[in-house]
Amino acid sequence: MSKRTIVSDFLPGYEDLPIQKLAQVFNNTSATYKFFWFLAIIDSIESGKREINKLDLFAKMLSHPWYTVSFFKLSFGSQDKIQSSIKFVQNLENLPITLQKTEIEKRLKDSPHYETQKKLLHFDKNVPHWFLSPWYKKKKRQEIYSLSKEFENKPPYALFDQKIIIDETWYKYFRTHAKLLKEFCYWNLSLFLQARNPNVPDIPNKLIKPAKRNSLTQQRNSYWTTYLKHRQGARCIFTNKLLDPENYALDHFIPYAFVSHDLIWNLIPVDPTFNSSKNSKLPHLDFYFQKFFQFQKDAFFTLRQLKPNKKFEEEYRTVFPRLKGEEDFTPERFHDVLSPLVATAHNNGFEYL
């Protein structure tokens, strides 16, 4: 048998490793623990570690979804303790949402707070040994610990009280296919979270903190500044202040943290002093929808005459599929699109203005 054979549609084989068991790890799970435990292991292996302290892995388990929980506010389900643990230690340790992953790990591991250490060690109760359940079906915790030390059934690692030791052959496999294994894990995690967030858009792109947010320069320069220069006297829908074409902020009406896109129909020029305080808060449609709708409609048909832009017009067609004239740009249709987004975002923890 060659060293590399395909044993499934996803994972390559290697020597005589039971890769099919690894493929089964995420088949039946009611929480995200196994996903983030596995990502933590791969991270450690990529840095050259075979003997890995459990506390390091538990800190990584919280650092991986830190941005997903704190910024995008995805629901992990009622049985999952990762989400509540992140919120707890974030408040206790006063850690910002935007902190880098490595710094989060360091701050958690080195924390002097007993409560933080307790939150991390909570995951030792079940996660390390239940991950190995495909190798040791119907076995209890102590049995799995004992059998794994002998590497019976060729598990990926041996379990000890304060550490795990990666099997040498599995170590080579994980090092060789780290990128593919992460993709496999994130794909399964996306399916898991989509089932628990059925109305939340763009789940896969909310699993990793983006290196850099997209710039809104094109939307600003090619659309909204042109409109504001033409429509003298336009006012912010939130503060009623006059908008200066040379000094305004471009805001996501429904927060970017929820919609995860920069489509023109969700953008609105606002008073720059207001924008910094709005952050990722939701607008009450009862208060702001009518003003938002009129602003959007006037901008669309003004720009269509002044400076037609096929790209932006196509973006509006995601809301108004049959958009030809003003009679097709209806408040009912726009409200029907925005209302469920606002309701779902609020249910997921986004606050109102």
pLDDT on residue 9: 60
DSSP string, 91-111: HHHT--TT--HHHHHHHHHT-
How are beta strands 267-270 and 51-53 bridged, if at all?
A: unpaired
User: How far apart are the C-alpha atoms of 155 and 133, rounded to whole Å?
Assistant: 10
Mean pLDDT score, 196-200: 93
- Which residue reads 């607008």 in tokens? 283
User: How far apart are the C-alpha atoms of 162 and 268, rounded to whole Å?
Assistant: 53
pLDDT band at residue 8 under the 50/70/90 scheme: low
Residue 133 reports pLDDT greater than 50: yes
pLDDT on residue 79: 84
Edge-to-edge strand list for the sheet holding 51-53: 51-53, 163-166, 157-159
Query: Which DSSP category does 189 fall into?
Result: H
pLDDT in tens, 253-304: 999 999 999 999 999 999 999 987 888 899 999 999 999 999 999 999 999 9
What mean pLDDT, rounded, does the chain reach? 94
